[in-house]
Amino acid sequence: MATMRQLLRDLPVLQGRPPAFDLARAPGTPFALFTEWLDLAIGAGLSEPHAMTLSTVDESGAPDARIVILKDADETGFCFAGSGTSRKGRQLGAIPHAALTFYWPTQARQIRVRGQVHPAPRRAAKADFQARSLGARALALLGRQSHPVREDEDIGEAVQSAEAEIGRYPARVPPHWQLYILTPNSVEFFQASSDRQHLRLHYTRSTTTWTRSRLWP
């Protein structure tokens, strides 16, 4: 039997087929380029191109990460939702800085975003909550995400009870539900190449303008 090291080394890498990418013609803002890349990913039928890794740190500086869904994006930032009482919510409340990573292997592309996180206006959080499925709203209403399950708790029964409560009060939105906006100060677009001469374009925010630079592979 192969060792884990050999098993991993035998796996193929950089098998994606990247679209054309002319760094010299890249737009002046990262959001414009993000929109171009996302449109190409959607058009190519990529599975869940709006899924992204959200990386945070806790009060001691230890890193944490999980996959979340991009809810909106424009020149002001990238939006994602969650409970303020969850692990990520508590971490963002203590240290409001985070990173996002999009990875689209079939196109050999990834996008890395770093910046400060702040809550969106309450009306936006309410609209996001109301747009979610019944099951998602029920779980959010319980407010127990990331908390240990006690032996006397039944998740199915708790969800059913929360769904019934939503049926009685359909406009209710729990106070802990948040829509977060990550305002980027750094965005990198990475397109892999089989010869390892990867294309990396880095945008850095300076006050109200963006500076572009190519990075070594």
Q: Domains of the chain, with CATH numbers?
A: 28-146+154-214 (2.30.110.10)
Spatial distance between the Cα atoms of 149 and 58, rounded to a whole number of angstroms: 22
pLDDT confidence of residue 104 = 98
* Cβ(17)–Cβ(108) below 8 Å: yes
3-state secondary structure of 51: strand
Taking only the tens of pLDDT, the chain with its 217 residues reads 789 999 999 999 999 999 999 999 999 999 999 999 999 999 999 999 999 999 999 999 999 999 999 999 999 999 999 999 999 999 999 999 999 999 999 999 999 999 999 999 999 999 999 999 999 999 999 888 777 888 888 898 989 999 999 999 999 999 999 999 999 999 999 999 999 999 999 999 998 899 999 999 9
Spatial distance between the Cα atoms of 76 and 93, rounded to a whole number of angstroms: 20
